[in-house]
Amino acid sequence: MTDLLRGEHNGGTVTDHGREATSASRGRALMTDLVNELATAPSGVAFIATCLDRVIETWNLLEARAVINDPVLGLQLFNAGRRPLELDEMPSTVLARGAGIHTEPTMLDEADDIDAISKLCEVALRLDRLHYESLHDPLTGLYNRRGFDEHLSAAISRSVRYGWSFGLVIIDLDGFKAINDRIGHQGGDAVLRQVGEQLRQGLRSGDIAARVGGDEFALLLHIEGPSSLEAILDRLHGNGGFGAAGEVAWTAGLAMCPDEAASVDDLYRVADQRLYEAKAVGNDHSSAKAH
């Protein structure tokens, strides 16, 4: 009777049903909590860190790591507590264990629960990636129009509230159509990537660049007025034009917030108007030189 109360002898081993039930209930409770937390997590990476911390806490473990095989990013490694690996441990050693959550000690009896939590981590990382892709241009890696407008709206709110000035700059590439006509879209894509890289490398901290159209880019620059714009654009443009032979230059239009406009649509309207005026002046100069 005592053995029946403590457990059952099964092939020389004792199975503690009470302990198994307690562990299983902890696993189910943790899964329920994590599913709810995924919907409100600030990011997928933050959620994965929470998962690993909670796994350690729930089963009183020494360590938990997640290896996630994303179809685009490949194998990604996450440590509980976002801690770095030990100095004598190579990431490749952990990655070689394959996708899943790897614990110390190994959780054999709770393998199904651990696998389910691992699947949640996969979903979280995929949501992070999809969110990033929805806000960025895949060709240049800069923000797209949607991502840029989110930052622009936030900058307008700060500008109106505190009086902080900034400029919206619209940039249009000159001679880009000729590149596409002469060497095809592959050559045009190379020029766009070159422009994107130059903007990314040349911008100051806090300034933002985006590709908002085919050959149109936008900048959010923290400047006090138009007087500093030319120097910034010259630095971003660099020596010569873009493309193998420098055939592509650019023309820019600036709108200042809050002095000239204080809404997304109005800022774009003013910047576009300035851009068209600059284009017209450039075309007039070209016609004069041709004559």
User: Which residues are catalytic, by number?
Assistant: 215
Tell me the torsion sign for CA atoms 183, 186, 189, 191: negative
Burial classification of residue 32, based on how many CB atoms lie within 10 Å of its CB (0-12 exposed, 13-18 middle, 19 or more buried): exposed
Nearest CA-CA partner of 253 in 177, 192, 167, 159: 167
Phi-psi region of 72 (alpha: psi -120 to 50; beta: other; left: phi over 0): alpha
Longest pairwise C-alpha distance within the chain: 111
Helices 264-290 and 145-162, packing angle to 10 deg: 110
**CA 136 to CA 143: how far, in whole Å?**
4
**CA 177 to CA 24: how far, in whole Å?**
64
HSE value, Cβ hemisphere, 13 Å, CA-based, for 5? 2
As a residue count, the chain comes to 291
**CA 232 to CA 236: how far, in whole Å?**
6
